[in-house]
Amino acid sequence: MKFHILTLFPEMIRNGLQLSVIGKAVENNIIAIDAVDIRDYSMEKHRKVDDYPYGGGAGMLMQAQPVYHAHQAVTGGRKVRTIYVTPQGMPFTQTKAEEFAAEEELVLLCGHYEGIDERVLEEIVTDYISIGDYVLTGGELPAMVMVDAIARLIPGVLGNGISSEEESFHNDLLEYPQYSRPEVWHKKRVPEVLLSGNHSKVAAWRLEQSILRTADRRPDLYARYQARKCLISQLSREKRNHIHMIESLARGRAEVLYMDDGMEADREEAGNGKTVNETNVSETNDAESMGSMDVVLYDSRDRICMISARTAASGDKVARCVPESAEYVVASHEFFDIFFNGMSEEFQGNRKNYQLCGRYIPMLYTCKAALSVKWKKSIPWKKSIPWKNSIPWESIRSLSEADWSLLERITAEFDYGICCNGKKIRTEEQVRDYLQERLKAGVMYGIFAEENLAGVIGMHKGGSVGMLYVDLPYRRQGFAASLTAYLVNRMLEKGWTPYACVPADNMAAGNLLDKLGFYKAAKEVSIYQREAVQP
Ligand code: ADE
Residue of minimum CA distance from atom 7 in ligand 1? 130
Q: How buried is 408 (Cβ within 10 angstroms: 0-12 exposed, 13-18 middle, 19+ buried)?
A: middle
In 3-state terms, what secondary structure has residue 150?
helix
Q: Ligand 1, residue 132: give the atom nearest the CA.
A: 6
Q: Per this entry, what is the length of the chain? A: 535
Question: Ligand 1 center to residue 136 CA distance, Å?
Answer: 5
pLDDT of residue 28: 94
Comparing C-alpha atoms, which of 405, 403, 379 is closest to residue 482? 379
User: Does any ligand 1 atom lie closer than 6 A to the CB of residue 144?
Assistant: no
User: Does any ligand 1 atom lie closer than 6 A to the CB of residue 85?
Assistant: yes
pLDDT of residue 497: 95
Residue 439 identity (one-letter amino acid): L
Q: Ligand 1, residue 139: give the atom nearest the CA.
A: 1
Residue of minimum CA distance from atom 9 in ligand 1? 86
Alpha carbons 323 and 303: distance in angstroms, whole number: 9
User: Does any ligand 1 atom lie closer than 6 A to the CB of residue 57?
Assistant: no
Question: Ligand 1 center to residue 227 CA distance, Å?
Answer: 30
Residue of minimum CA distance from atom 2 in ligand 1? 136
Average pLDDT per run of 10 along the chain, which is 535 residues long?
98 96 95 98 95 92 97 96 97 91 95 93 98 96 98 84 52 90 97 93 92 96 92 92 94 89 62 39 40 83 87 75 86 64 47 74 93 55 46 77 91 60 68 89 89 92 93 86 93 92 89 95 86 53
Residue of minimum CA distance from atom 10 in ligand 1? 86
Would strands 465-470 and 294-299 be described as parallel, antiparallel, or unpaired? unpaired
User: Does any ligand 1 atom lie closer than 6 A to the CB of residue 87?
Assistant: yes
- Residue in 84, 85, 121 to alter for ligand 1 test, most ligand atoms within 8 A of Cβ: 85
DSSP string spanning 31-45?
Answer: SEEEEEEGGGG--ST
Q: Ligand 1, residue 134: give the atom nearest the CA.
A: 6
User: Does any ligand 1 atom lie closer than 6 A to the CB of residue 134?
Assistant: yes
Comparing C-alpha atoms, which of 358, 467, 357, 457 is closest to residue 416? 467
Residues forming a β-bridge with 23:
none
pLDDT of residue 160: 56
Question: Ligand 1 center to residue 135 CA distance, Å?
Answer: 5
- Residue in 130, 145, 148 to alter for ligand 1 test, most ligand atoms within 8 A of Cβ: 130
Question: Ligand 1 center to residue 213 CA distance, Å?
Answer: 28
Residues forming a β-bridge with 530:
354
H helix and E strand count, the chain = 18, 21
Alpha carbons 361 and 377: distance in angstroms, whole number: 27
Comparing C-alpha atoms, which of 178, 167, 180, 173 is closest to residue 210? 173
- Residue in 135, 140, 147 to alter for ligand 1 test, most ligand atoms within 8 A of Cβ: 135
Alpha carbons 346 and 97: distance in angstroms, whole number: 33
User: Does any ligand 1 atom lie closer than 6 A to the CB of residue 136?
Assistant: yes
Comparing C-alpha atoms, which of 66, 61, 75 is closest to residue 43? 66
Residues 6+ apart with CB under 8 A from 367: 381, 517
Alpha carbons 521 and 328: distance in angstroms, whole number: 20
Question: Ligand 1 center to residue 109 CA distance, Å?
Answer: 11
The pTM (predicted TM-score) of the whole model is 0.77
pLDDT of residue 73: 98
